Amino acid sequence: MRRPRARGRRRARPRPVRRGSPGGGARLAPPPRDRSGARAGGRRGCGRAHRPPPRTPEGAGLRRRRRAARRFGRRGHHAEGRQGPRDGRAHDHVGDPTLSEARRQLYPTIQPYRTGQFDVGDGHVLYFELCGNPDGKPVIFLHGGPGSGCNPSHRRLFDPDRYNVLLFDQRGCGRSSPLGSLEANTTHHLVADVERLRRMVGFERAMLFGGSWGSTLALAYAQAHPARVTDMILRGVFTGRRAEFDWYYRDGASRLFPDEWERFLEPLSEAARGDPIAAYRPLLLDPDRNVRARAARAWTDWEARTVSMRALHDMAGGFGASDHAIAFARIENHFFVHDLWLEEGQLVRDAGRLAGIPGIIVQGRYDVVTPPVTAWDLHRAWSGSELQIVEDAGHAFSEPGILDRLILATDRFALHNEGSVSPERSVGS
């Protein structure tokens, strides 16, 4: 039976609930707003009052972090100053439904504000371009391959208002010349080229961004010139260890893609199939262009059809037998035959040289080209790194989960503008 209300008594007006008081679920009157426009009272159904950050330097920092987190769509995950879990363990947020609904996309299309050809010696002339804000944070983008070159989508990984981006085509590829040249084309030459370009454009220090082979070159450069690097973003880490080559070009990825592996081996004789990297070299160097083209098509198709969790058959067909496809296959095979001119395990072994350089490693869980174990080994050897494993992604930077993390990473590091342009060598010189 419903209990009758006592007459002659007025119901008390609800007051904000204090910590530990009963009745935490009571409905409260809308609290007054403070000067910033935020509600100053408690939340409905919450056992404690919510107060705005105090008007102190610490409170101002908290307000900035909250605004940055709301802007990036992730409260607290990538706010200013956050460096990931304090215990340094790998972490992932793909399971959070709020993140899958608001994944970041590339920035709008932009054009370079400066382009040019830079003679680095040995008969090589490199194409380079500068994009974004000439007064922004310096960053050097290192493309994959080796031998692939840059494309316009790479410019869009960075906020054009906050970054000054240097992109260039490495020796023998893209718009650099001579196309496909293997002369004086080694990892050590490319590390020297990065340093020459840095000085030429006037970057005192710069952030490095590289995926796949680009991560290899970024690590090699940073370990040779750590004082010139502010921070690093790496994706799909490749360090050139023998186990990494064997997984992809002998026994590993072939078990997941047996149909594509069979196509990859077709240009090779039965006797040569035990070591495909070595067996492809004479075909890619053959004086007959038709032989080179057939070998280049098979080489690039194997990579194109395993690079993503989603079928990219249009990408594979796009390689065709063009001069650029042949150059790509020749250069990549050239580096692989020589084990990248690195000692076994060198880049992981010397990760201690990166001490003091913060870095974010973005790695697809189902990356068949560069499996996560390499990123994990690097992360454990590099104390300043944060490993982010994307559960629904493979190797390609264009996969939604990978792209989301890369854009979040560049936005996050843009908040720490520690680079500079040397006053004696302006960017426009």
For 375, the 3-state DSSP assignment is helix
* Summary count for the chain: helices (H), strands (E): 15, 9
- Phi-psi bin for 240: left (phi > 0), alpha (psi -120 to 50), beta? left
Which one of 169, 193, 301, 367 is the catalytic residue?
Answer: 367
Count of all residues that appear for the chain in the document: 429
Query: Rounded to whole angstroms, how far apart are CA atoms 373 and 378?
Result: 9
Q: What is the DSSP string of 1-37?
A: -PPPPPTT-PPPPP-PPPTT-S-TT---PPPPB-TTS
Helices (H), 173-275: 187-201, 213-224, 242-249, 253-256, 258-265
If residue 324 lies in a helix (H) or strand (E), which one and from where to where?
A: helix 323-337
Query: Rounded to whole angstroms, how far apart are CA atoms 150 and 254?
Result: 28
Which one of 176, 395, 404, 411 is the catalytic residue?
Answer: 395
Active site residue 367: yes
Handedness of CA 256, 363, 398, 138 (dihedral sign): negative
Neighbour count for residue 194 (Cβ, 10 Å): 24
Beta carbons within 8 Å of 288's beta carbon, 6+ residues apart: none
Which one of 176, 212, 308, 385 is the catalytic residue?
Answer: 212
Which amino acid would we find at residue 402? I
Query: Rounded to whole angstroms, how far apart are CA atoms 132 and 136?
Result: 7
DSSP code of residue 53: P
User: Residue 173 in contact with residue 149, Cβ under 8 Å?
Assistant: yes
Query: Rounded to whole angstroms, how far apart are CA atoms 301 and 320?
Result: 9
> What pairs with residue 129 in β-bridges?
115, 167
Query: Rounded to whole angstroms, how far apart are CA atoms 188 and 184?
Result: 9
Active site residues: 212, 367, 395
